[in-house]
Amino acid sequence: MSESILFRPLSIRGVTIRNRIWVAPMCQYSAEACDGMTTDWHLVHLGSFGQGGAGLVITEATAVSPEGRISPQDLGIWNDEQTQAFRRITDFLHGQGATTGIQLAHAGRKASTYRPWAPERGTVPMDAGGWPTVAPSPIAFPGYATPGELDTAAIDGVVDDFVAAALRSIDAGFDVLEIHAAHGYLIHQFLSPLSNERTDEYGGSLENRARLLLRIVGETRAAVGEDVPLLVRFSATDWVDDGWNEEQTATVAAWAKDGGADVFDISSGGNMTGVTIPVSPGYQVPLAEYVAANGDVPVSAVGLITTAAQAAEIVDEGRADAVMLGREMLRDPHFALRAAHELGVTVDYWPAQYERSAWPA
């Protein structure tokens, strides 16, 4: 296992990532002042992954506008104060040898909700700090308020917000950008015919439903230049007949690659409730394989990847170019270093304070 591809660097445009073990974006709902600002929690949370040897550390879904937040406690990057606050985190991660990434997001009809551990559920009312939500069509996500339908001028504004947030992200020290087009948030809402009933240039055909994403990808690429890696996270399927599916994902991924995107982070679900998802170890890896094969694009795989051997097998067999870990990273922020130890791989980025852990047991 010492030759596992899992620990080989991966170069994307002007950035080289030290290994193929990447930290998936995971919302923390911990901007306690409801101002989108990072706190000590985010520094320690994200910083621990850099100490732990991860190759790429991606922040949680970070809103490109105040109304794009999932909850009032989400992070944002719509102003200069937020941009500068992120610097403390990116500087620390770079000091640990990690590559920094940020997931840029707009929650659409799933915005203005209570964070998961709040006693309340559903949409936060205006008098409690909530705000009106928007979507491609005025179709409510079950249990949430009905959103307003975005007109074309407002769609132009969303594109502008993503581009401005991308530029701020570079100023904040992020090496990699990821556009969030998954999990039932705004871009996914446009992509899926189950949440998009528009009859204009943003609805109907696959080309029209993909128009918002492709505009964001193309205009972001033009703004940030040719050296910045650009990822797109997709939900490959709604897990519903007649919904968004793997075939459409592969097609749109290929279009996005032509427009300037580089790697596609393949997850699933989130746009519809009451669906049956066949959850098991690595259950979304076949979705990543399908998109890679049929879209001819590089992919990362995510979803119940929990052991070093499993992660190595996925990459070594060519099923994905990298693995994204979420909950397992929460259980063990030093998963990457532990994986190197378990697989007998020598790496040169053990923190000096922890280096004794690299010695044979």
Give me the pLDDT at residue 83, please: 98
CA atoms within 13 A on the CB side of 219: 17
Residue 350 to residues 97, 185, 307, Cα–Cα distance (Å): 10, 37, 19
Say what the pLDDT of residue 200 is.
98
Q: What is the mean pLDDT of residues 4-15?
A: 96
Start-to-end C-alpha separation, the chain: 18
Q: 339 pLDDT exceeds 50?
A: yes
Question: pLDDT for 118-136, tens place per residue?
Answer: 999 999 999 999 999 999 9
The predicted pLDDT at position 356 comes to: 87
pLDDT class for 361, splitting at 50, 70, 90? Answer: low
User: Containing domain of residue 16, as a range?
Assistant: 5-358
* Res 243: pLDDT: 97
Q: Is the CB of residue 185 less than 8 Å from the CB of residue 106?
A: yes
Q: Please provide the DSSP assignment of 74-90 as one string.
A: --B-SSHHHHHHHHHHH
CA–CA dist 335, 13 (Å, integer): 26
| pLDDT at residue 55 tops 90 | yes
- What is the C-alpha to C-alpha distance for residues 176 and 187, in angstroms, rounded to an integer? 19
**Looking at residue 75, which CATH number applies to its domain?**
3.20.20.70
Domain count within the chain = 1
Share of the chain above pLDDT 90, in %: 97
Predicted TM-score of the model (pTM):
0.97
Active site residues: 185
List pLDDT tens digits, range 165-215. 999 999 999 999 999 999 999 999 999 999 999 999 999 999 999 999 999
pLDDT of residue 39: 98
